[in-house]
Amino acid sequence: MLTVVPVLPDYPYTLHTLDNGLRVVVIEDHLAPVAAVNVWYDVGSRHETPGRTGFAHLFEHLMFQGSTHVSRNDHFGLISAAGGTLNGTTWCDRTNYYETVPAHHLETALWLEADRMGGLLDALDQQNLDNQREVVKNEKRQTRDNQPYGSWLDLVHRHAWPEGHPYQHSTIGSMADLDAASLEDARGFYSTWYGPDNAVLSVVGDVDTAATLDAVSRYFGGIPAKGSYPPSPPSDLPRLIGAEVRRTVPDRVPVPRVFVAYRCPPFGTPEFDALELAAIVLGGGRGCRLYKSLVLDRGLLQAPDGDVTSTWPFVAGATVFIADLPAREGADIAELEAAYHEIAEGLGDGVTEAEMERARAVHTSTWLHHLATVDGRADMFSQVTTLFGDPGLVNTLLPRQLAVTADDVAAVARDFLRPDNRVVLVFEPAGDPEDTEEAAA
């Protein structure tokens, strides 16, 4: 007799808010003696001020440079010596910091996170800032400036959102703004955004909930609440871009490649749920429309490692739906682009139930895969609690998205995957790459 493992997530969790406003989510999982600690701060690159693009991410690096009781190399040193792994990331809506440790070292991770949440300024100095500024500039070179097609992300940000919108610049920022960042900026950013009442702490793994909450209040309880945070920068914008934006980018690349970005309702809306499924029907996995037509039947599109189309989970005003279309060697780029548009817009004419079943199954497995590890699960709990205030969404968001119908998918395709709502970036092989600022100007 076989047991049945639920196919939808159903994780019991405890949400507790400390007196200082820190929200703590604890999920027990005793399969292996490990624990994941994950802190999301509700600040990202969309909270940056003009002239300081890239600062939220540079600041994330400074959070690893020591604090009141932690010396410069101790974040990595102590967690490594415990047999754990750690890192941090920054994106438009968040900055997160996380450790996965053998469970008996849980309190080491909590202590380290608390010390930098409450005591970063004691260790912040010009030398750390100057060193990490160079590290971040090299990160930008390594991941963008020295890579073929490396400017595409910046160009999507610049053109899919209007001038002045908080998503109009990418998280990595500009070299000039990174150069301009001062110690004063860092102190101000920390004092403005980094407090317990602007953070969510998730702990997942081989832990006892009551003992974990005790430990959390011991380490974090003495950090004072800030009480108030600046209002989010205004993010209202027209629902659609209004006219196609097209940029041709000569670059040192082996084959032409087209990126298409559409402005869409943000993560959290019913339209976004439908667009998630639309991305799978159109360009997710290998049983999607684009793979069949452009890769298998017509040989125009280079078979991707991942998905051809995807959405970004942004919450402020509008997000984007992206298609990534590298051409096969010798394929006509205009033919590829035209074929793509025909298929993408054809989604609006209707979607079959068989396509929906495939999309739902793929979407479910993707979720389960992300939730399979304690660190992936901790990050998901921090994410939905930070963005929507409800940790239960880890269990309920997937069923909500699975309820999307074929008609819903066709409707959002008609409403958003349309010519007057898209940014088209065409990368073309050229001997000498032009400066992308000029190319886009």
Partner 1 sequence: MSLVSQRPEPGPPRPWSFPSFERREVAGGRVITCHLPGKPLAVLELVADAGAVTEPAGKEGVAEIVVRALSEGAGEYDAYGFAVAGERLGATWRSHTDWDSFRCGFEVPVGDLVGAAELLAAAVREPRLDEASLLRVRDERVDEIRLDLSQPGPRAGAAFAAAVWAPDCRYAVPDGGTAETVAALTPDDVRDFHGTRLRPDAVTLVIVGDLDATDADAAARVVFDGWSGTCTETPPLRPPVPRSTGARVVLVDRPGSVQSMLYAGHDAPNRRTPDYVPMTTMALVLGGMFNSRLNYRLREDKGYSYGAFGGFDARRDAGIFVARSAVQTEVTAPALVAAVAEIRTMHETGSTDPELEQARSYRAGVFPINFAGPGAVASGLADLVVHDLPDDHYDRLRQDVLDVRLDAVNAAAAQRLRPDDLVSVVVGDASAVADELRAAGLGPVEVLTDEG
Region of 161-169, 250-258, 316-324, 342-350 interacting with partner 1 (CB under 8 A): 250-258
List the interface residues with partner 1, window 44-73 (CB under 8 A): 68-69, 73
Reduce the DSSP state of residue 231 to 3 states and report it. Answer: coil
Contact between 137 and partner 1 per CB under 8 A: yes
- Residue 56's nearest CA partner among 67, 37, 66, 42 is 42
Task: Output the smallest distance, CB 32 to partner 1, in A.
Answer: 5
Question: Exactly one of 38, 53, 90, 100 binds partner 1 (CB under 8 A); which one?
Answer: 100
- Residue 440's nearest CA partner among 92, 163, 254, 234 is 163
List the interface residues with partner 1, window 274-313 (CB under 8 A): 285-287, 291-292, 295-296, 299, 302-303
The Cα 46–Cα 165 span in angstroms is 8
Contact between 430 and partner 1 per CB under 8 A: no
Q: Which residue has the tokens 């100057």?
A: 130
Contact between 399 and partner 1 per CB under 8 A: no
Pair 307, 291: CB distance under 8 Å: no
Contact between 253 and partner 1 per CB under 8 A: yes
The Cα 128–Cα 115 span in angstroms is 17
Q: Which is nearer to partner 1, 116 or 422 (CB)?
A: 116
Q: Which residue has the tokens 């960042």?
A: 181
- Residue 199's nearest CA partner among 176, 172, 223, 174 is 223
Q: Which is nearer to partner 1, 269 or 293 (CB)?
A: 293
Question: Exactly one of 19, 134, 335, 342 binds partner 1 (CB under 8 A); which one?
Answer: 134
In b/e form, how buried is each residue of 91-128, taking b as 16+ CB within 10 angstroms? bbbbbbbbbbbbbebbbbbbbbbbbbbbbbeebbeeeb
List the interface residues with partner 1, window 314-333 (CB under 8 A): 326, 328-329
Q: Which is nearer to partner 1, 120 or 387 (CB)?
A: 120
Chain-centroid distance of CA 321 in Å reads: 13
List the interface residues with partner 1, window 149-208 (CB under 8 A): 206
Question: Exactly one of 353, 420, 432, 438 binds partner 1 (CB under 8 A); which one?
Answer: 432
Q: Residue 403: how many CA atoms within 13 Å on its side-chain side?
A: 7
Region of 135-143, 237-245, 332-340, 342-350 interacting with partner 1 (CB under 8 A): 135-143
Question: Exactly one of 80, 126, 352, 405 binds partner 1 (CB under 8 A); which one?
Answer: 80
Contact between 403 and partner 1 per CB under 8 A: no
Contact between 225 and partner 1 per CB under 8 A: no
Rounded to the nearest 10 degrees, how much is the dihedral formed by the CA atoms of 148, 153, 156, 159?
Answer: -90
Question: Exactly one of 234, 242, 254, 350 binds partner 1 (CB under 8 A); which one?
Answer: 254
Q: Which is nearer to partner 1, 77 or 238 (CB)?
A: 77
Q: Which is nearer to partner 1, 136 or 423 (CB)?
A: 136
Q: Which is nearer to partner 1, 92 or 101 (CB)?
A: 101
Q: Tell me how many residues contact partner 1 (CB under 8 A).
A: 93
Contact between 222 and partner 1 per CB under 8 A: yes
Give just the sign of the alpha carbon dihedral 91, 261, 376, 27. Answer: positive
Contact between 435 and partner 1 per CB under 8 A: no
- Residue 418's nearest CA partner among 243, 238, 157, 163 is 243
List the interface residues with partner 1, window 330-389 (CB under 8 A): 354, 357-358, 361-362, 364-365, 368-369, 372-375
Rounded to the nearest 10 degrees, how much is the dihedral formed by the CA atoms of 271, 276, 282, 284?
Answer: 180
Task: Output the smallest distance, CB 282 to partner 1, in A.
Answer: 14
The Cα 287–Cα 284 span in angstroms is 8
Question: Exactly one of 218, 246, 400, 414 binds partner 1 (CB under 8 A); which one?
Answer: 218
How many other C-beta atoms are found inside a 10 Å radius of the C-beta of residue 80?
A: 12
Region of 25-33, 42-50, 336-344, 418-426 interacting with partner 1 (CB under 8 A): 25-33
DSSP-assigned letter for residue 146 = T
Q: Which is nearer to partner 1, 334 or 354 (CB)?
A: 354
- What is the token pair recorded at 270? 């019913």
